[in-house]
Amino acid sequence: MKKVLSVASECVPMVKTGGLADVAGALPGALSEQGVEMATLLPGYPAVMAGMGEAVEVRRYSDLFGGEARLLRGKLGKSPLFVIDAPHLFDREGSIYLGADGRDWPDNPERFAALSRVAALIAVDGADDWFPEILHCHDWQAALAPLYLRDMGNPRNVRTLVTIHNIAFQGLARRDMMERLRLPMWSYDTDGIEYWGQISALKAGLVYADRISTVSPTYAMELLTPEFGAGLDGILRKRATDLTGILNGIDLEVWKPPYRTVRGKARHRAALREELGLPEAEGPLCIVISRLTEQKGLDLLLEALPTLLECGGQLALLGSGDASLEAAFAQAARGSEHVSVQIGYDEALSRRLMAGGDCILVPSRFEPCGLTQLYGLRFGTLPLVALTGGLADTIIPANAAGLAAGVATGFQFYPVSAPVLTQEIAEMCAAFRNHALWRRMQSNAMRHPVGWETSAVAYAALFEEISTLS
């Protein structure tokens, strides 16, 4: 079997803050059926150390960016798991990225340089009797690995792939940290890791990895433009032939609706309304499960909300983030009995929302792939999404063509603005009143393939291509 080391800063079921963890957790199992043995390398956060079970020490490092560390080997399901036990870097309470003040940990550059460097050391020396042929590096936290590996001479000719999950996060550090991060000075220039006078970990990966991938075909194209490329579009255009977009999938067993057909949603909708204190309504019960940020377009939803309510619809929102958005949605809930707002995150409630909702709203200004719309499809909770990134690649819109062919699975709007979102919400409410059309769309959605089968084949093919590079 081809051996690939997946290098990630988070991974379910060990630790999760976002969609990266879902992808890192699902890929090893999905790829095992494609002849790929994927091991995972994770930082030893408290949750990871507590959850890894039996482990053996396979390496020691006398000085890993300020302290001693061990490399431990365990299991992630049936796949190998390697964990960096470095208490001085990872043994701390709270968020894996943020301190109690809500700001990045000041030593994040060193913490994730350690993750990248250990990945490169495994590529050179192996881990116990396990030797990777490819490093699969996820986002900026692992993106220094190709540079470290090149600087070490890469004696085993291990190939590298960097996957961009969200280019907005680049892992910037001060230029004077080059020596502290053990980065070669020859790499610091405009064709290397320099980014406006700083070090960009993500740029290092984009420059020095053998191949680059991202999480949807449309996002791959968007990244080549100044609007979406976050200042790295130039380097990506240079490497356009090395860039591939592969859609994320979801675990079909983990995200399995508690009903077999769309008719089963009725009692879950009734239970959800009762739980949230929402009255009966003629229009759709729309849900939002999201970080409350400008990226997610939820300020646009606030402007469109009156139209949803005028059409007899309701809104049930679960999320947290920008304080002004939290306050605005809380005010909307106080102003209407048809709006329920829960600030925070509750996994169990998110599943009840998905089961009981009629439509899930995802009005993101940009969305590399998105997972909530995939959950919506799986549950027959029709997605209404912006035409961007993975949202464009996963929803068949209820436009003239989609309706004529009888294949529509949701609703899309473009350009991403409040007036256009408002119009699409009105059209979605009109479709809801056509019961036969709505049920047909729900059935289409629940049959739509959202698992990892197709994407796993694409990743396996990409790994095969990478392994044949000279």
d(CA 23, CA 75) in angstroms, rounded, equals 17
Q: Which two tokens stand for residue 309?
A: 């309510």
Strand, coil or helix: 254:
coil
Residues 260, 267 contacting (CB under 8 angstroms):
no
d(CA 175, CA 204) in angstroms, rounded, equals 13
104 Cβ neighbours under 8 A, 6+ residues apart: 97, 98
| Residue position matching structure tokens 């409630």 | 349
16 assigned ligand-binding residue: yes
Question: CA of 409: how far to CAs of 255, 389, 440, 443, 449, in Å?
Answer: 18, 17, 9, 8, 11
HSE toward the beta carbon, residue 303, CA cutoff 13 A: 14
HSE toward the beta carbon, residue 313, CA cutoff 13 A: 28
Please state the separation of Cα 191 from the chain's center in Å. Answer: 28
For the chain, the farthest-separated pair of C-alpha atoms sits apart, in whole angstroms, at 68
d(CA 206, CA 140) in angstroms, rounded, equals 10
Q: How many CB atoms lie within 10 A of CB 261?
A: 12
Q: Which two tokens stand for residue 210?
A: 């053998």
d(CA 164, CA 172) in angstroms, rounded, equals 15
What one-letter code names the amino acid at 131?
F
d(CA 19, CA 150) in angstroms, rounded, equals 29
- Mapping DSSP onto H, E and C, the string for 39-53 reads EEEEECCHHHHHHCC
314 Cβ neighbours under 8 A, 6+ residues apart: 273, 278, 281, 283, 284, 285, 286, 308, 338, 339, 340
User: Are β-strands 69-76 and 56-61 bridged in parallel, bridged antiparallel, or unpaired?
Assistant: antiparallel
What one-letter code names the amino acid at 334?
R
Radius of gyration of the chain (CA): 23
Binding residues: 16
Binding residues for ADP-alpha-D-glucose: 16
